[in-house]
Each structure stands twice: as structure tokens, then as C-alpha cells.
């Protein structure tokens, strides 16, 4: 579990932080939240879904159909896809809140990236003010939070008009078929039947662009199926294979993404 601590001058005035050098911190993340500004890039390479938490739905990028493993993180920690969700790039920082609700920058103390120096970035400058790099991180996370709130507002309108439906996915393995639940998608039929008034309400809340991006992104489900096969074969053989995981670099060959073939679910139906 992460150990997030608020960055204060008292605790971090004489400390420094290191930038991460791999995405190993995300190797168990099967889904990650998305913000509205990320959609144009995320839709080009990742399946997008909705996750329900309580009565609300949240927008998320899919890195695996099954929990516990990120198929886009290679053994050496390299990210093998074209787009990395912002939630992953902000590591080891998050935006927390004080008791009175004000935003505060926090860092995961257990990430191994906080140091007494001399390497790394300073948390505070010589005047005791937050260093530029820290301010840049704070700005990035603030924009990310605003984008997530916009996504939440759009999702709320989509749910209000019953445009989000369960997305059951059947996973084929050598042990048979298993249905994966807990994922949601846009009900395209219901979307096309919306009244003009409802359609305008959804559009004004940003829900229409979210809906179309989610529908378009579903074509990338085959990519996850192919990556699942590559990971499974590499784990089973523990040997170097063409179009597989190479132990020397930890890279995954993604040539299959550029073949322009008819969609093949690669074990996913």
C-alpha cells in the first residue's frame, strides 16, 4: 500500500526526490482513471470503459481484462503502448486535501524516490518556497483533477439517461471460458434513440464526446487479447521467442498493432 504524506517544509525542506525510471509501479494496475483532456490520445490506442463506484460511474483506460496485471508494462518496466495515462505519469505524487478541503501535494514515501541528496530534485528552493519542479507537478495534478471532474460530470449525465450498460466479456483460456464482469460500456442503441432535448443535455455536459470515444476505443480490445497471449507464452516458455518478451531488454514486440488486419479478439470474445 502507498504511504502518501503531505509535502511540507518542516518534513521535506532538506530532502530531494528522484524521478521514476520505469513503470514498474503500475505493473498491477489493470485499469486507470482517465480525464477528459486525455480522451483524444487514449482513444487511439487503449480500450476505454466505465467503472462503477457506488452509484457513480468513472471513466477508465483498460490495460487488462482481468485484475492484478498491467499488460502494457514489460518485465523491465518499459511501457509498451503509444499512450501512458496521466494517472501513471504523475507517480509518485497525488493531489490530496487538507482537513479544510484545500488541495495539498502528497508523495508516496514508500516509493523509494525520496532522498536526503545530493541527487534528485529539491522540494523547496533556497528561499523556502516550493521548487519549480514541485510547482509543475502541482499544476499537472490540478489540471488532471479538473479533467476528472469534467469526466465525472459527463458520466453522470450518461448514467442519468441510461446510456451506460454492463460490458460482459468472455475470456477464453485453455481451461475454458470465463465471463469477466464489472466493466461497463455505452449502450449505442439507447444513444441513437435519445430525444433532441436529452441529447442536448448530454452534449452540454461533455457526455457525447465521452460516449463516442468509448465506442470507438472498443476496437482495441483485440490488442489486450494479443498482449495476454504474449505474456502467457513468455511465462510458460521462459525463453526468447519472436514477437514475444525479450529478457535482454524486457521489450514486447508490438508489430501486430501495425498490420491493419481484421480484428481478431485473440482469446477474447
Instruction: Determine the pLDDT at residue 30.
Output: 95
Domain limits for position 15 = 4-258
Q: What's the rounded Cα separation, in Å, for the pair 212 and 161?
A: 15
**Closest of 85, 71, 75 to residue 34, by C-alpha:** 85
With a pLDDT cut of 90, the percent of the chain lying above it is 70
CA 74 to chain centre: 16
145-185 residue pLDDT tens: 999 999 999 999 999 999 999 998 887 766 667 788 899 99
Statement: residue 254 has pLDDT above 90:
no
Confidence of residue 238 (pLDDT cuts 50, 70, 90): low
pLDDT for 233 beyond 90: no
Is residue 197 domain-resident? yes
- Mean pLDDT rounded to a whole number for the chain: 86
> In this predicted model, which residue has the larger pLDDT, 104 or 226?
104
Q: How confident is the model at residue 3 (pLDDT cuts 50, 70, 90)?
A: very high
The residue among 207 and 254 whose pLDDT is bigger is: 207
Q: Is residue 14 part of a domain?
A: yes
In a domain, 188, yes or no: yes
Predicted local confidence at residue 58, as pLDDT: 96
Inside any domain, residue 264: no
266 inside domain = no
Domain count, the chain: 1
The closest of 218, 181, 268, 266 to 48, measured between CA atoms, is 218
What does 58-97 look like in DSSP terms, one character per residue?
A: EEEEES-SSTT--TTB-TTS-B-SS---HHHHTTTEEEEE
| The predicted structure's pLDDT at residue 236 | 67
pLDDT in tens, 36-67: 999 999 999 999 999 999 999 999 999 998 88
Say yes or no to pLDDT of 143 above 90: yes
User: Within a domain: residue 267?
Assistant: no
Query: What confidence score (pLDDT) does residue 133 get?
Result: 95
Residue 150 counted as domain residue:
yes
Whether residue 229 is contained in a domain is answered as yes
pLDDT band at 99 (very low <50, low <70, confident <90, very high): confident
Amino acid at each position: 500500500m502507498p504511504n502518501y504524506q503531505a509535502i511540507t517544509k518542516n518534513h521535506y525542506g532538506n530532502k530531494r526526490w528522484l524521478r521514476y525510471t520505469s513503470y514498474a509501479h503500475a505493473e498491477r494496475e489493470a485499469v486507470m482513471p482517465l480525464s477528459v483532456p486525455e480522451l483524444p490520445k487514449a482513444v487511439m490506442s487503449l480500450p476505454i470503459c466505465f467503472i462503477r463506484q457506488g452509484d457513480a460511474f468513472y471513466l477508465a483506460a483498460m490495460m487488462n481484462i482481468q485484475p492484478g496485471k498491467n499488460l502494457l508494462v514489460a518485465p523491465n518496466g518499459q511501457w509498451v503502448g503509444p499512450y501512458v495515462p496521466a494517472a501513471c505519469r504523475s507517480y509518485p505524487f497525488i493531489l490530496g486535501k487538507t482537513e479544510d478541503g484545500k488541495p495539498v501535494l502528497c508523495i508516496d514515501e514508500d516509493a523509494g524516490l525520496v532522498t536526503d541528496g545530493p541527487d534528485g530534485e529539491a522540494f523547496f528552493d533556497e528561499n523556502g518556497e516550493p521548487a519549480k519542479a514541485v510547482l509543475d507537478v502541482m499544476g499537472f495534478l490540478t489540471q488532471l483533477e479538473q479533467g476528472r471532474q469534467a469526466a465525472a460530470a459527463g458520466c453522470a449525465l450518461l448514467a442519468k439517461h441510461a446510456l451506460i450498460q454492463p460490458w460482459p466479456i468472455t475470456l477464453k483460456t485453455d481451461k475454458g471460458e470465463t465471463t469477466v464482469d464489472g466493466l461497463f460500456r455505452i449502450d449505442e442503441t439507447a444513444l441513437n434513440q435519445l430525444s433532441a432535448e436529452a441529447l442536448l443535455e448530454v452534449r452540454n455536459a461533455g457526455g457525447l464526446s465521452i460516449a463516442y470515444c468509448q465506442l470507438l476505443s472498443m476496437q482495441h480490445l483485440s490488442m489486450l487479447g494479443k498482449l495476454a497471449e504474449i505474456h502467457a507464452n513468455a511465462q510458460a516458455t521462459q525463453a526468447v521467442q519472436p514477437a514475444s518478451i525479450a529478457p535482454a531488454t524486457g521489450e514486447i514486440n508490438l508489430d501486430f498493432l501495425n498490420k491493419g488486419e481484421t480484428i481478431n479478439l485473440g482469446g477474447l470474445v
